[in-house]
Structure 1
Amino acid sequence: MLTINNALQWWARNRQDAVALSLGGDTVTYGDWLPWIDRVAVLLEDAGVLPGDRINACAANSLEYCTLAFAAMRAGAIIAPLNTRFTPYELCEIIKDHGSRLIFCDDAHALKCADCGVPVRAIAEVLALRHGGKARPAHDPLPDSCVVIISTSGSTAKPKGVMFSHRTMLSYITANAMEDGALRDGGGVIVVAPLATSAGMVQLVHYAVLGCTLYLEPLFDAQLFLDILVEKEIASFSGAPAFFERIAALPTFKTADLSRLKFVAVGGARVTKPLFDAWAAKGIIIRQVYGQTEAGGNSTVMPGAFAATFPEKCGWGGIFTEHRIVDADGNELPPNCEGQIVIRGPATMLGYWNNPEATAETIRDGWLYTGDIGVMDELGLITFVDRLKDIIISGGLNISAAEIERALLEFPGIEECAVIAAKDERFQETPLAIVYGTSPPDVPALIAHCNARLADFKVPRYVAVRNQPLPRLATSKISKPALRAEYADAHLILPKVR
C-alpha cells in the first residue's frame, strides 16, 4: 500500500539498527521506532479514536511527539499540530474548527488547551510506551486518506488548515528523491523547525520515509549546528539564509570539514552574494528553493548544474510539478514578465480544512494560485519576486517590499529589516523601512544608499530604527502582521526622511 507507515515498515526491516531520530543524545532506531508507533496507535484506538478523527498536539519537538504523529497516521487519524506560541484563545479557535477528538500536550502547554472542550492527554503517555511488546493496530491506512492538517504560518489574518494525504506527501518525497538523489540511500539531516509548521512536519515525514537519521534540534545554535555538520554524516541541510549567515560568521567555519554535505538549500529569502561566496569557497553551492505549505513543500529546487551561474533563481519545477506565471485573469505570461506563480502537481494540498470557499479560491482548474509574484526566463527558470500581499501600491505604482529589503540589507551594519506600507495622504501608501543592526544607522546615509539603488518612488519615506530584533513567526520568517500592527500609526509618529 502507498502509505507513509509502509515506508517505515520497510526501513524497520532493512535498516533495523539505523538511527531514525536523535535529540539531545537520545536516539531511537528504525527497528525500535516502528513497534513504539504501533503501541501508541493502539493506545489511540483504545481511547476511541476512529479513522478521520483529528488529534491535536501542542508540545515542543521531541521523540514522543514524532512518534505520536506517525501513530495517529497508523490509526487512520489526522495529526493536527498546534503552534505552541499561540494564545489559549487562538488555540481553542483552531481546535474548535478541527472538531478534535484528543489533544496531547507537554507540561509547559497543557493549561493553554485546558478550556477548549476537548480531552487533554499528556504526551508523556506516549513516552511511557517506548518499551513494550508488539501491538497490532486494528486499522490499515489508506493512500488517499488525509493524514495531516498544517496551519498556515500566520502571515494571513487567520490560519488556514492545509490538508495532505499519504499519496500527496509521498508524491512530494518520491519526486524529491528522483530529482536529486542526495538522500536516496539515507543519510543525516538536521530539523530545527517546530513540528507545528510545514517546515517541521513535512521534513519529519519526508526524511523518515527516505530512511534518514533526523537530528531534531529544538533551538538553532550556530556552533552546535556546525559541530553536527562536521561530526555526523549530514548529507542535507536546508533553512533560512540567517542560519547559513550565522554559521559562516563563526571563527571555526573556514577550517570546518563539510565534505559530507551533498545538498544545501535556502528558502524564504534570497541568498546574498557574500553569503553565497562564503559557502562556495568551501566547495558548497547553496541552491535556492521555492515553495509554500499548500504546494506540499518545496515545489522547485535550483538544479545543481545551474546554481552557481544563477544563484538567485530557484529552478524550473519538479519532475511531476509544473509552474506558470499568469496575469490577473489567469492568462499565461511570456518570459521575463512579472506575474503570479501558479503550480500544478501531485503534492498539492487536498484543500483547506473546513473551508471550501478558500479552497476554491486557491485551487482553480487544477492549478494552485500561490499569491506570490515571480518571473520565468526563456529557460523556464523561476525567480521569486515577492508576495502579492507584500506589494505596496503607491500612487498606483506597485512596489516590491522584497526589492527594497534587499537594498537595505546591503547597507553596512543592518542585520534585519522589513518594509511595509505606511499610510500617505497623497499616495495612499508609501514604503516604511523597519531596520535593526549592530549600531543605529545614519538614516540620511541609508536613504542616500537607497537612492543610489532604487527608483525614487521605491525609496522609503519613513524609517523606524529598532533597538531589538524584529518579531518572527514560528517558521523563523519575520512577522509582518506583527509589524503592521505595531507601526499602524507610523505616519503620525515618525518624521518623513525624504
Structure 2
Amino acid sequence: MSATLIDTFKWWAIERANVPAIVASSDSVTYAELDRWAEALAAWLEQQGLQRGDRVAVIGANSLEWAVLAQGVMLAGGILAPVNPRFTVSEASYMVAERYQARFVFHDAERATLAAEVAKDVPGVTVHGLDAVRALRGEAANPARGGAPLRGIGPDDDVVIISTSGSTGRPKGVVYTHRTLCGYMSDTCMARPAAIDRARVLVFAPLCTSAGYVQLTQYLAYGGTVYLEEAFDPKAAIQKIIREKMTTVMGTPIFFERMAACEEFRDADLTSVRYSLVGGAPVSRQLLQAWLDKGVVLRQLYGQTEAGGQATFNSDEGSLASPEKCGRGSPYTRIAIIDEQGRFCPPDTPGEIVIRGPGVMARYWNDPEATAKVVVDGWLRTGDLGKVDAEGSLTMLDRIKDIIISGGLNISAAEVERVIAEVPGVREVAVIAASDAKFGETPLAIISGDASLQVEQVVAHCNEHLSGFKVPRYMVIGTDPLPRLATGKLAKPALRAQYANAHQTLERVR
C-alpha cells in the first residue's frame, strides 16, 4: 500500500464534494468543506510552530472540531495523541507529559482546567481550546499547498497514537501509520464490500479509542457519512437510526442490549441497518434473536487496539448458526492459535490468539521492548485465549490479559490494583470484573488489609487518581490473605468463581 490517507480524503473532497462527511449534534460538514477547513487548520498549525512528528494531544468529548483537528494534524505532518476526556489530572499528565511529550494540547470547554494542569508538566507545550479550530472554519486553504502535502508525507509516517489498557499498570501507546490504516481499511472493504456503499454510520464510541477514531477515519476513507455522537443514549440512538436511515452500527453488546430494552425498540423500523458488528463480549442468542426479529444480523467480531480494533468478524451465515464465533479473518489478515512454546496449534485446540495482517500496529510508542514481546515474526500475540475450527473460524474463550470492558471502555485491572495498593493499610489486592446491567462489566476490588482499613479511604484515593469509570463499584475488604496459585500469583480464577454473583450479593460502594 503506497498511498496515504491524505490521498484518500483528497479524492473524496472532489468525488463527493457536496455529500455530508460528518454530522454532529448541531452542525455538519461536507467533504469539500472538511478538506478546506482541515487545510486551513494545517497551515495555522504550521504557523504556530508545529514540526513534522510533533505530538498533538486532544482532551475532549466527541465533537466536529475534534474530528477536524485530527484531519488538520495529519495534513501538517503531526501525530495525533488523543487523551481520554474522563482522565484525572494524574492520568492525563502521564499520557501527555511522560508518554507522548506533546508539543500542543487542545481541549474542549469542559476540560480547560484539566488541560491547564496537565500542561504545567510539559516544557514548551502550547495549549489551545477547540474553539480555535472552530474559528478557522471560514478561512481559505493555503493555495501554496496545492492540495498536496508539503512535507513529503509517506505511507510509513505516523498518524495517531491510541492508548491501550493492557496487563501492565500504565497505558501504552499504539502507533498507526498511513500504511497500517490504509491497509486495514482496504482489507476490511474487501471482506465486506456491500457494507461500505453510501454508508451512514453511527459513531458513539469515544474518539480517543480505536473503536471511535478508527471507525471515524475508516468511514471517511470509504466516502460515507459519519454521524458523531457525544455520548451514547439508547433512545436517541434508536431514533437516529430510524430518522437518518443508518446503514452501520457497531459497539459492545451492552449498547445493543440497552437499545433492545427500550420501549421504542418494539415498533422501530431498523431495516436500513445492513451492517452491524458487536465485540468485547459474546453475543447471547437472546440478543441475536431480538435484533434478528428487526431484520438486523449482529455479527460477532474479535479485535484489539494493537490490531486496528477489528481483526475478524463473523459472516451472516455464521452469525445465525454459530453466533459465538468471530469469523476467519479477511483476505489479507490471518488468525491462528499458538501454544505456550509458540508453536501453531491444530484445529479446535485452545491457545493464544495471534494475528498477522495489514492492520497490526506499527509499534508501541517509544517502547521497543514491549513491541518485541507482542509482535513476533510478524504475528501479533494478543494475550487472549481462543481456538479456531477446521475452517479457520475463531472462537474467543477468555482474556489472558486482565482487562475489564465497562461501557465499551477498557480498564486495566493492574492499573486499578496499582492505585489501590498505594492506600496505607492495603497488603494485597485483586481487581476482577463484576456484571453490571448498565455497563456490562464494572470493577470489583477484593482487598486484604489492616483491620482499620475503610472502604471510604480506598474509594477516596481511587477518585483522586483514577477516572470515574475505573473506580470499583464493588469492594470487599478483609484481613485474610488472598488465595494464590502454586506459582505465587493471585488465584483470580478462584476469585471470579467466588464472586460470580457479586452484582446480586454485594452492595455498591459508589
TM-score range normalised by the length of the shorter chain: 0.7 to 0.9
Q: 2:300 aligns with which of 281, 288, 299?
A: 288
Is the 1:373–1:388 contact (alpha carbons within 8 Å) kept by the matching residues of 2? yes
Q: 1:127 aligns with which of 124, 134, 141?
A: 134
Counterpart for residue 98 of structure 1: 100
Q: 1:229 aligns with which of 209, 227, 241?
A: 241
TM-score (norm 1): 0.80
Counterpart for residue 77 of structure 2: 76
Are 1:26 and 2:27 an aligned pair? yes
Indicate how the Cα distance of structure 1 residues 112 and 245 shifts in structure 2: closer, same or farther if over 3 A, else same. same
TM-score (norm 2): 0.78
Is the 1:110–1:120 contact (alpha carbons within 8 Å) kept by the matching residues of 2? no
Is the 2:167–2:401 contact (alpha carbons within 8 Å) kept by the matching residues of 1? no
Structure 1 residues not aligned, in runs of 5+: 392-400, 403-418, 423-427, 439-470
The one-letter code of the counterpart of 1:93 is: Y
Is the 2:277–2:301 contact (alpha carbons within 8 Å) kept by the matching residues of 1? yes
Are 1:39 and 2:40 an aligned pair? yes
Are 1:250 and 2:262 an aligned pair? yes
Are 1:171 and 2:183 an aligned pair? yes
Counterpart for residue 396 of structure 1: none
SS in 2 for 1:190: strand
What is the Cα deviation at residue 386 of structure 1?
1.2
SS in 1 for 2:247: strand
What is the Cα deviation at residue 334 of structure 1?
1.4
Q: Report Cα offsets for 1:202-248 as digits up to 9, x if no partner.
A: 11111111111111111111111111111113111110111111111
Q: Distance in 1 between matches of 2:307 and 2:50?
A: 29
Q: Distance in 2 between matches of 1:308 and 1:335?
A: 22
Q: Report Cα offsets for 1:305-360 as digits up to 9, x if no partner.
A: 22100111000111101111111111111111111001111111010001111001
Q: Distance in 2 between matches of 1:339 and 1:127?
A: 49
Aligned-residue Cα RMSD (Å) equals: 3.3
Counterpart for residue 110 of structure 1: 112
Indicate how the Cα distance of structure 1 residues 302 and 437 shifts in structure 2: closer, same or farther if over 3 A, else same. closer
What is the Cα deviation at residue 107 of structure 1?
2.2
Counterpart for residue 87 of structure 1: 88
Indicate how the Cα distance of structure 1 residues 182 and 12 shifts in structure 2: closer, same or farther if over 3 A, else same. same
Indicate how the Cα distance of structure 1 residues 429 and 197 shifts in structure 2: closer, same or farther if over 3 A, else same. closer
Indicate how the Cα distance of structure 1 residues 430 and 244 shifts in structure 2: closer, same or farther if over 3 A, else same. same
Is the 1:50–1:77 contact (alpha carbons within 8 Å) kept by the matching residues of 2? yes
Is the 1:183–1:212 contact (alpha carbons within 8 Å) kept by the matching residues of 2? no
Is the 1:362–1:368 contact (alpha carbons within 8 Å) kept by the matching residues of 2? yes
What is the Cα deviation at residue 432 of structure 1?
7.4
Counterpart for residue 12 of structure 1: 13
What is the Cα deviation at residue 123 of structure 1?
1.5
SS in 1 for 2:197: coil
Q: 2:224 aligns with which of 212, 216, 235?
A: 212
What is the Cα deviation at residue 433 of structure 1?
7.5
Q: Report Cα offsets for 1:403-459 as digits up to 9, x if no partner.
A: xxxxxxxxxxxxxxxx99x9xxxxx99997845569xxxxxxxxxxxxxxxxxxxxx
Are 1:327 and 2:339 an aligned pair? yes
What is the Cα deviation at residue 487 of structure 1?
4.5
Q: Report Cα offsets for 1:78-112 as digits up to 9, x if no partner.
A: 00101111121222222222122111112221222
Indicate how the Cα distance of structure 1 residues 240 and 436 shifts in structure 2: closer, same or farther if over 3 A, else same. closer
SS in 2 for 1:297: coil
The one-letter code of the counterpart of 1:239 is: G
SS in 2 for 1:308: helix
Counterpart for residue 308 of structure 1: 320
Indicate how the Cα distance of structure 1 residues 218 and 491 shifts in structure 2: closer, same or farther if over 3 A, else same. farther
The one-letter code of the counterpart of 1:56 is: A
Indicate how the Cα distance of structure 1 residues 273 and 67 shifts in structure 2: closer, same or farther if over 3 A, else same. same
Indicate how the Cα distance of structure 1 residues 491 and 262 shifts in structure 2: closer, same or farther if over 3 A, else same. farther
Indicate how the Cα distance of structure 1 residues 25 and 124 shifts in structure 2: closer, same or farther if over 3 A, else same. closer
Counterpart for residue 184 of structure 1: 196
Query: Which consecutive aligned stretches of 4+ in structure 1 deviate over 3 angstroms post-superposition?
Result: 153-156, 428-438, 476-479, 482-494
Is the 1:183–1:210 contact (alpha carbons within 8 Å) kept by the matching residues of 2? no
Q: Give the number of aligned pairs.
A: 433
Is the 1:74–1:140 contact (alpha carbons within 8 Å) kept by the matching residues of 2? no
Q: Distance in 2 between matches of 1:180 and 1:236?
A: 12
Percent identical among aligned pairs is 40
Is the 2:242–2:268 contact (alpha carbons within 8 Å) kept by the matching residues of 1? yes
1:297-376 to 2 correspondence within 5 Å? 297-376=309-388
Q: Distance in 1 between matches of 2:433 and 2:79?
A: 41
What is the Cα deviation at residue 34 of structure 1?
0.4
Q: Distance in 2 between matches of 1:477 and 1:122?
A: 24
Counterpart for residue 459 of structure 1: none
Q: Report Cα offsets for 1:19-45 as digits up to 9, x if no partner.
A: 011111311111111000000000111
Indicate how the Cα distance of structure 1 residues 99 and 252 shifts in structure 2: closer, same or farther if over 3 A, else same. closer
Q: 2:291 aligns with which of 255, 269, 279?
A: 279
Are 1:152 and 2:164 an aligned pair? yes
Is the 2:199–2:219 contact (alpha carbons within 8 Å) kept by the matching residues of 1? no
Counterpart for residue 199 of structure 1: 211
Indicate how the Cα distance of structure 1 residues 16 and 258 shifts in structure 2: closer, same or farther if over 3 A, else same. same
Counterpart for residue 456 of structure 1: none
Counterpart for residue 443 of structure 1: none
